[in-house]
Each structure stands twice: as structure tokens, then as C-alpha cells.
Amino acid sequence: MTSVPSAAIGREIRAISLVGFGHFLSHFYMFGLVPLFVAISADLNVTNLQLGAILTAYNVATGVLQTPMGILVDKFGARRVLIGGLFVTSAAFGLSGFTSSYWELLALFFVAGAGNSVFHPADYVILTASVDESRQGRAYSMHSFGGSLGTAAGPAVMVILMTQTDWRTALIIAGSVGVLLSLIFVFSGDTLREDAATKQKTRSETPLRSMINRGVVLLFLFYVLTSSANIGLTAFAPIYLPALYGVTVETAAYILSVLLFSNALGTLFGGWLADKTPRHDLVLVVSFSIYATLLAIVGTALIPVFLVVGAFVLGGFVRGIVNPSRDMMVRAVAPAGALGTVFAFVSTGFNVGQGIAPLAYGALLDGNLTNEVLYLSAAFMVASILLLLFSRNRTM
């Protein structure tokens, strides 16, 4: 058995840590803004609709620019694009603390969303190039784990910063951390590598043509379906859990936190599993089958609350297992030299699902069809399973 030099392992750990922390901040900035809304509304005298438009601007910028950024990653290198995107996002987030009007805030968060569009394409190219192939699944899992932690930590940390200072200072402090990290990236030496093309089997002359690929399109649709399932489960938990099980909104938030934390732990296990099996499609089918079944059971509102918590613990865990295997499947269908473009394109499916599906969930809740929110989420999961089965034993 060939031993791995400790220097190589150390460099891989540094690369995973840096990229993972960048992904942590990407999610932190997105979800850390929400707890500040009440204070921002009072200070700038804006409506809830206007506050929602801030998140829309952020997501629209990310979704629209993600694929072009992937092309830039493949053309000019992932490291420079990642550093630029992290700096822009962090600086815009921090500068938001100096705004004197709503429109300045809206414009800055559009800029922040534009910077945020670099993370998925650049991160995956760097991880693929920087980590040995036998440990790719675990590297991808740590990347997803960092994002999950950012999602969980953003609201809590920003609330603490705001209560100790004010919403403006909280934004400035959080933004400064990202600016500092971008400077660390500049002086990271050869830690962050970007020649991912040497680890891929097929080559593409033009990155744009890499998206006109059956396997890539199927994975894009897979991202749309899974994000559609997730947004209903997470965004509307404070509404459907109190309605179905009589818990308080605060208790519903705690149950949701359990789901998110369990998801992060499942991602770590999923990384190990992705490195041990080539059947990534089977991992996805089994995990989502369990998850969809649990959602349907919770949707009946016939089980006690403690079993709901148990279902969310197990559901979050099996959902997390999926992430590294999904990423390995994307890597497998991406032509050499187009990994950033492909990861950017399929990741845009997240924005599509999260942008469209909430309308359906909101309509169900407005029609007092609360149970059906869980059923719809499960249905999206089943649809993603059918999509994978349809693509099985075919050329991706």
C-alpha cells in the first residue's frame, strides 16, 4: 500500500479548509441578513415587500451570472475568479452597513449576489485539482458541510452582533471577515490548485458546448427538483408545523434547526460513502426514497411531535448523504476544461427551484391545504428519483 506524503495531505487539508470557509461565508451572508430585517425596516422605513426584494436581487444576480462565471473559471482560472468574487461579495456586504437609503442597500446586495455567483464553479474546480481522486468525495462533503454550517450560523451570529452593536455594525464586521479571507487566498501559494482538467476523462474544446449534453441537462433538472423539495420543507416550517402539530413557532424553528444540523452530519458521512462506491446514483435513489417516505408520514399529522423530530433527524441525515454523490455525478459528466461551466450551470437549478416552487407552496397554504405542503415536497423527491431511474444505464 503506497503511503501518502504528510506534506501532500497537509496541503489538501489547507485547500479544503480555505474553500470550505469561503463556502461557509457564502451561505452565512445569504441567511445572516434575514434576522436584521426588522431593524432595517424600522431604520429605513421600508415595507416587507421591499425587504423581500433585497433577497430577490441577491438570488437573481447569483442565478443569472453563475454560468457566465463558470465559463470565466474555465477560461482564466478558478483561483483568481474565486478571490475576486469573495472580495466583491464581502465588500458589498460590509459596505451595506454604511448605506443611508433603501436603494443603496438593494444595489449593494445585487452586487453581493453577483460576487456570490463564483463560489460553486470555482470551488469545485479547485477541490478537484487540489485533492487526490481517492478523497474527492470527502472533499466535496466538507465543501457542502461548510455551506450547511454557514446556513445555520448566519442568523444566530448576526443576531448576536446586532444586539451587541447595531445592524449596520453587524454588516460591517461580517463583511470585513470575508475581505480578510480573500487576502489570505491571495497569499495561499500553491495550496489552491486549478488544473482540474487533468483529472477528467473527456475533453471539450468549447465550455459552452459542454452544457448541450444529456447528462448535464438531466442533472440540472435534478437540482431543480431537489431544491423545490427543500425550499418547501425549510422555508415554510414555521407555518406548517404549528398548523399540523400545534407547536409554537419557536418550537418549529428548533425542529428545523435539528433538520439542518442533521443534514450537515449526513453530508460528512456521504463524503466517505461517495469515495467507497461508484454507484452514486444508487446512493441518491435509496436516500431520497427514505426521505420522501418520511415526509409523507409527517404530512399525515397522525404521529406525535417527538416522532416528527425523529423523522426530521433521519430525513436530514439521509438528505445530507446525497450531496457528495451528486457532486461526483456532476464531475463525471463534465468534459475536461469545462468543469466550472458545468457545475455553474447545474447549480443554477437551485435558483430555479427556489424561485418557482415557493409559489406553489404558498398557494397550498393560502388554500388551507397544509398537509399537502409535505406531500408536494415528497412528490418533488419522488420525481427526482424517477429522473435518476430514467437516466440509469444510459449514457450521461
Q: Does residue 141 form part of some domain?
A: yes
The whole-number pLDDT of residue 210 equals: 55
- Please report the pLDDT score of residue 371 as a whole number: 92
6-10, 291-295, 340-344, 367-371: which has the highest mean pLDDT? 291-295
Say if 311 falls within a structural domain. yes
Residues 28 and 128 both lie in one domain: yes
pLDDT value, residue 32: 81
Please say whether the beta carbons of 171 and 45 come within 8 A. Answer: no
Is a pLDDT exceeding 70 seen at residue 202? no
Examine the domain organization and report whether 180 and 300 are in the same domain.
no
More confident position, 205 or 23:
23
Model pLDDT for residues 2-54, shown as the tens digit of each residue: 455 677 778 778 888 888 888 899 888 887 887 787 788 889 888 777 877 88
Q: Are residues 62 and 91 in the same domain?
A: yes
Residues 6+ apart with CB under 8 A from 381: 225, 226, 229, 288, 291, 292, 295
Range with lowest mean pLDDT among 35-49, 153-167, 194-208: 194-208
Last residue of a domain, one of 169, 199, 229: 199
pLDDT of residue 125 exceeding 90, the answer is: no
pLDDT value at residue 10: 80
- Report yes or no on 298 lying in a domain: yes
The pLDDT of residue 396 is: 44
pLDDT higher than threshold 60 for residue 148: yes
Higher per-residue pLDDT: 114 or 201: 114
Based on the fold, state whether residues 188 and 276 are members of the same structural domain. Answer: no
Lowest-pLDDT choice from 101-105, 195-199, 216-220, 259-263: 195-199
Q: Name every residue whose Cβ is closer than 8 Å to that of residue 95 and which is 6 or more positions away in sequence.
A: 108, 175
CATH number of the domain at 149, please.
1.20.1250.20
Mean pLDDT, rounded, for 311-335: 87
Task: Provide mean pLDDT across the span 283-290.
Answer: 92
Please give the Cα distance from 23 to 126 (Å, whole number).
Answer: 12
Co-location of 222 and 317 in the same domain: yes
Give every CB contact of residue 89 below 8 A, 6+ residues apart in sequence: 25, 26, 29, 112, 113, 115, 116, 178
Q: Work out the average pLDDT over 358-380.
A: 89
Residue 392 confidence (pLDDT): 61
Helix (H, G, I), strand (E, B) or coil at 336: strand
My answer on whether 111 and 186 are in the same domain is yes
Whether residues 137 and 45 share a domain: the answer is yes
**pTM reported for the whole predicted model:** 0.74
Amino acid in position 340? G
Among residues 199, 226, 259, the one where a domain terminates is 199
Helix spans in 45-135 (H): 48-76, 78-95, 102-116, 119-130
Q: Is the model's pLDDT at 130 over the cut of 70?
A: yes
Structural domain boundaries, residue 72: 6-199
- Pair 219, 350: CB distance under 8 Å: no
Q: 214-235 and 339-366 helices cross at what angle (nearest 10)? A: 40
In this structure, what C-alpha cell is assigned to residue 91? 465588500
**Cell matching residue 178:** 470575508
Whether residues 194 and 224 fall in one domain: no
Q: How confident is the model at residue 206 (pLDDT cuts 50, 70, 90)?
A: low
Q: Is the pLDDT of residue 1 over 50?
A: no
Q: Is 1 domain-assigned?
A: no
Q: Quick check: is 97 in a domain?
A: yes
For residue 203, what are the β-bridge partners?
A: 336
Confidence of residue 288 (pLDDT cuts 50, 70, 90): very high
| 166, 199, 232 - which closes a domain | 199
pLDDT of 123 over the 90 cut: no
Mapped onto helix, strand or coil, the DSSP state of residue 132 is coil
**Cβ neighbour number for residue 243 with a 10 Å cutoff:** 17
Q: Are 152 and 226 contained in the same domain?
A: no
pLDDT at 159: 82
pLDDT at 165 over 70: yes
Instruction: Verify that 140 and 232 share a domain, yes or no.
Output: no
Percent of the chain with pLDDT over 70: 91
More confident residue, 386 or 203: 386
Number of other residues whose CB lies within 10 A of the CB of residue 230? 20
The residue that leads in pLDDT, 315 or 37, is 315
Cα(48)–Cα(210) distance, rounded to whole angstroms? 41
Least confident segment among 83-87, 139-143, 182-186: 139-143
Give the gyration radius of the chain's Cα atoms.
21
Q: What's the structural domain count of the chain?
A: 2
Provide the pLDDT confidence category of residue 395 given band limits of 50, 70 and 90: very low
Q: What does the pLDDT read at residue 90?
A: 95
For residue range 71-109, list pLDDT tens digits in order.
888 888 888 888 899 999 999 999 999 988 999 999 999
Q: Is residue 258 part of a domain?
A: yes
Residue-wise pLDDT for 231-254, tens only, equals 888 878 878 899 999 988 778 878
